[in-house]
Structure 1
Amino acid sequence: MRAYYYDNVPGDQRLPHDYIPSKPVFTETLISLGVKYWTIPVEGHESKVDAVAQEQGYKNRDTINVSKEGLGAVYEEKIKGFFQEHMHEDEEIRYILGGSGFFDVRETPSDAWIRLAVEPGDLLVIPAGIYHRFTLDEANNIKALRLFKDEPKWIPHNRSSETDINTHRIDYLKSIGVTA
């Protein structure tokens, strides 16, 4: 996984949107935001992903293929929805099996976007309450294993004055040392 500050230049969301020269984001910054990641080679990944799942308390999983073929008629709608700035009341855990894409997370308190370029072998945990979004890159395809603490669910709460006071958002801010 490569992490860097998003350039905020208008244009296709699927482009890298990297500054020239790049402004990398270091592991310490991601840790301070509660973002976790591991690199686990796809070949033979099962036992290592199972170990992380057990250690983190993830009991359920499914696989998603985000592509025109995988999502069919709802593809365009889903891609637009994934790129809307939102938060979840649960962690978002993704292990990339194939393809590639971008997760953008909001740095707090600066409110800058940090782009996380993911590819096969990346296991990413985005904490509950952090504002983020997702998009494919120009290859238009990603296959990911989704891990869940409880029953599989993916409920986005688009950023608003209501999400700013959501208990999970407030708890997230406290966990990174920011008072709401």
Structure 2
Amino acid sequence: MAVLNIPAEKRQIRDTAEIKAYLAALGLGYEQWEPAQPLPESATAEAVLAAYAADIERLKAEGSYVTADVIDIKPDTPNLDAMLDRFNKEHWHDEDEVRFTLAGHGQFYIHPPEGPVVGVEVGPGDLLVVPRGTHHWFDLLADRRIRAIRLFQDTAGWTPHYTGTQAEVKVAALLAGAA
């Protein structure tokens, strides 16, 4: 279940309906999904996509997504830190970033044009849709693990466009000061 963090306000939201409403006001989508059948964590990507086929097909129709895959990041993933360096700096994309978390945890930071940066901590069952053009960044949490279904509007995948604002550095300093 997601947790919404608003560091500048020292506020946290845990209620699912409140999280969904807050994110919707920012233009983001949030849902919680259950598999059509229970899946072991070791399930193949094909089995995962089959188990969530109805939800995936619905999203494809709603958002013009053309493909879906499964990404599996673990603490022992080769070149993990270099991979994270692509995600953990503020950027935006030409297409939506759609992630459904199957296992592990991550934190999406959303930097709206107006208002404070918002952290969305996702875990198993959480679907987050970050619309194209939205300034954001992502980092793993302490378990350094995430397995997720990704949906794409372009078969070439997404390309990050970095903002260079260093918003992620400012938020990290704010969080460090609160610790």
Question: Offset of 1:47 from its aligned partner?
Answer: 1.9
Note the 1:76-95 alignment, pairs <5 A. Answer: 76-95=81-100
Give the residue type in structure 1 aligned to 2:112: E
**Are 2:52 and 1:45 equivalent residues in the alignment?**
yes
Cα deviation 1:116-135 (Å, max 9, x = unaligned)? 01111111110111110001
**What is the RMSD computed on CA atoms of the aligned residues?**
2.1
**Are 2:31 and 1:30 equivalent residues in the alignment?**
no
| Structure 1 gaps, min length 5 | 8-17, 162-180
Report the 3-state secondary structure (helix = DSSP H, G, I; strand = E; otherwise coil) of the residue aligned with 1:96: strand
Aligned residues: 146
Contact 2:32 2:127 in 1 (8 A): yes
**Are 2:73 and 1:66 equivalent residues in the alignment?**
yes
Note closer, same or farther for the CA distance 1:146–1:152 as it changes in structure 2 (3 Å cut): farther
Aligned partner of 2:61 among 41, 44, 54: 54
Task: Give me the TM-score of the superposition, normalised by structure 1.
Answer: 0.72
- In the alignment, what sits opposite 2:177? none
Report the 3-state secondary structure (helix = DSSP H, G, I; strand = E; otherwise coil) of the residue aligned with 1:94: strand
Note the 1:68-147 alignment, pairs <5 A. Answer: 68-69=75-76, 71-72=77-78, 74-110=79-115, 112-147=116-151
Report the 3-state secondary structure (helix = DSSP H, G, I; strand = E; otherwise coil) of the residue aligned with 2:94: coil
Report the 3-state secondary structure (helix = DSSP H, G, I; strand = E; otherwise coil) of the residue aligned with 2:151: strand
Contact 2:28 2:130 in 1 (8 A): yes
| Structure 2 gaps, min length 5 | 39-50, 166-179
- State the identity %: 27
Contact 1:61 1:152 in 2 (8 A): no
Question: Offset of 1:157 from its aligned partner?
Answer: 0.7
Q: Which moved more, 1:75-84 or 1:40-49?
A: 40-49
Give the residue type in structure 2 aligned to 1:34: G
Contact 2:23 2:30 in 1 (8 A): no
- In the alignment, what sits opposite 1:10? none
Report the 3-state secondary structure (helix = DSSP H, G, I; strand = E; otherwise coil) of the residue aligned with 1:68: coil
Question: Offset of 1:59 from its aligned partner?
Answer: 1.4
> 2 CA distance for matches of 1:128 and 1:100?
22
